[in-house]
């Protein structure tokens, strides 16, 4: 599926989106105008939102962590084709050391190269170490390409094992909307019809259920982790040095969920993260779009399909604010 120009249907979502993006970026021979990084909460941002002749690739992954973002951006950098414009969806759990996100381990090598690129690793933060890791990464990459058939066969085996283990059915399609989920050729997600068009009662129930226990990846969010905060700031400084225009997106929560975040002191750091990002962006002259607070975006329960994901109506409202900011 990675080498076709058609989109791919899937009966449910793969938990190996880091690998998908790794090979999606590596195999794409063209430069793109805009690249999007973040979690599933920004994965509906798509190429068709842009003016004609401009291209966008959505590199979103489920539950994105700072490690995901650094590793995937490093792949672009290693190829020598950093996009001119980068959109980063920043979820509050990025700064929670207890977020329980570990899917980034599938691109651990890329992340470590990215950390060396940012000179953040206390053990290996020097040019020599970075060059050694990059040379070894390149050697392994070209060894794997000695037989393209072997590479494709290996990828197919990886995904078929995952698909068979989770009752997946995948096939190419030219559709954008369907009764099943679609991963489009720009990397964005089109959710199944039954998800996109949930009635408001079901959506509100899902939002209420999502706060009956710890909110997703915000458990034990006791402090804004300084290490992750430093990684984020160094990444932004690096992109600035590379002349990349950066736009930060704060994906909103459903009103029921945000009310819980606002009144429950164990989530106070979510509010502090937004304050930090707004102050930081102002100091760096970075455009920031959105808010964890849906009221700041004039959003209601009708703009969501669950407790933390916008529906198409909500995405359209985000879109109206996003691309004027990207191209200012």
- Asked if the structure places residue 230 within a domain, the reply is yes
- Asked if the structure places residue 177 within a domain, the reply is yes
| Three-state DSSP string of 9-71 | EECCCCCCHHHHHHHHHHHCCCCCCEEEECCHHHCCCCHHHCCCCCCEEECCCCCCCHHHHHH
- Asked if the structure places residue 2 within a domain, the reply is no
What is the full DSSP assignment across 227-261? HHHHHHHHHHHHHHHTT-EEEEEEPPPPHHHHHHH
Q: Which residue has the higher pLDDT, 253 or 15?
A: 253
| The predicted structure's pLDDT at residue 68 | 95
Residue among 94, 90, 93, 95 nearest 226 (CA)? 95
- Please state, rounded to an integer, the average pLDDT across all residues of the chain: 83
pLDDT of 120-151, one tens digit each? 754 444 444 545 445 544 544 544 444 444 44
| The predicted structure's pLDDT at residue 23 | 65
Residue 92 pLDDT class (50, 70, 90 cuts): very high
Structural domain that includes position 128: 7-326
Q: How many residues does the chain have?
A: 328
| Three-state DSSP string of 106-168 | HHHHHHHHHHHHCCCCCCCCCHHHHHHHHHHHHHHHHHHCCCHHHHHHHHHHHHHHHHHHCCC
| The predicted structure's pLDDT at residue 29 | 57
Across 10-30, average pLDDT:
60
Pair of tokens at residue 74 = 């490093």
| The predicted structure's pLDDT at residue 95 | 98
pLDDT of 302-311, one tens digit each? 999 999 999 9
Pair of tokens at residue 174 = 């030219």
| The predicted structure's pLDDT at residue 106 | 87
pLDDT of 202-213, one tens digit each? 999 999 999 999
- Asked if the structure places residue 95 within a domain, the reply is yes
State the CB neighbour count (10 A cutoff) for residue 278: 14
| The predicted structure's pLDDT at residue 170 | 67
Would you say residue 298 has pLDDT above 50? yes
Across 260-276, average pLDDT:
98
pTM above 0.85, yes or no: no
Across 217-237, average pLDDT:
97
Residue 87 pLDDT class (50, 70, 90 cuts): very high
Question: Is 302 exposed, middle or buried, given 0-12, 13-18 or 19+ CB atoms closer than 10 A?
Answer: exposed
- Asked if the structure places residue 83 within a domain, the reply is yes
The CATH number given to whatever domain includes residue 182 is 3.40.50.1110
- The C-alpha atoms of residue 196 and residue 313 are separated, in whole angstroms, by 10
Would you say residue 283 has pLDDT above 70? yes
Q: How far is CA 191 from the centre of its chain?
A: 16
- The C-alpha atoms of residue 313 and residue 288 are separated, in whole angstroms, by 20
- Asked if the structure places residue 285 within a domain, the reply is yes
pLDDT of 30-86, one tens digit each? 789 999 999 999 999 999 888 888 899 999 999 999 999 999 999 999 999 999 999
Q: How much of the chain exceeds pLDDT 90, in percent? A: 61
- Asked if the structure places residue 249 within a domain, the reply is yes
Q: Which residue has the higher pLDDT, 60 or 23?
A: 60
CB contact at 8 A, 210 and 258:
no
Would you say residue 164 has pLDDT above 60? no
Structural domains in the chain (count): 1
- Asked if the structure places residue 1 within a domain, the reply is no
Would you say residue 152 has pLDDT above 90? no
Angle of helix 66-79 relative to helix 17-27, nearest 10 degrees, comes to 10
């Amino acid at each position: 599926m990675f080498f076709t120009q058609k989109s791919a249907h899937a009966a449910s979502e793969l938990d190996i989106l880091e690998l998908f993006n790794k090979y999606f970026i590596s195999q794409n021979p063209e430069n793109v105008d805009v690249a999007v990084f973040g979690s599933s909460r920004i994965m509906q941002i798509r190429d068709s939102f842009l003016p004609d002749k401009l291209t966008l690739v959505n590199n979103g992954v489920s539950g994105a962590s700072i490690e995901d973002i650094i590793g995937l951006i490093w792949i672009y950098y290693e190829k020598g084709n950093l996009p001119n414009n980068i959109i980063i969806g920043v979820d509050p759990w990025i700064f929670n050391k207890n977020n329980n996100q570990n899917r980034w381990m599938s691109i651990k090598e890329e992340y470590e190269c990215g950390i060396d690129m940012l000179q953040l690793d206390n053990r290996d933060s020097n040019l020599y170490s970075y060059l050694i890791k990059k040379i070894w990464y390149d050697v392994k990459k070209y060894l794997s390409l000695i037989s393209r058939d072997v590479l494709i066969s290996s990828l197919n085996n990886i995904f078929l094992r995952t698909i068979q283990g989770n009752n997946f059915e995948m096939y190419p399609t030219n559709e954008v909307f369907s009764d099943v989920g679609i991963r489009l050729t720009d990397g964005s997600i089109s959710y199944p019809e039954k998800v996109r068009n949930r009635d408001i009662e079901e959506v509100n129930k899902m939002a209420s259920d999502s706060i009956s226990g710890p909110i997703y990846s915000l458990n034990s969010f006791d402090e804004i982790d300084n290490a992750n905060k430093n990684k984020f700031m160094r990444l932004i400084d690096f992109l600035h040095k590379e002349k990349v225009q950066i736009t930060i997106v704060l994906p909103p929560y459903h009103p029921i969920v945000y009310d819980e975040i606002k009144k429950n002191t164990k989530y106070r750091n979510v509010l502090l993260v937004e304050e930090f990002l707004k102050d930081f962006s102002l100091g760096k002259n970075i455009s920031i779009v959105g808010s964890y607070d849906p009221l700041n975006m004039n959003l209601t329960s009708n703009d969501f399909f669950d407790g933390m994901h916008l529906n198409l109506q909500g995405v359209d409202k985000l879109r109206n604010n996003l691309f004027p900011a990207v191209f200012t």
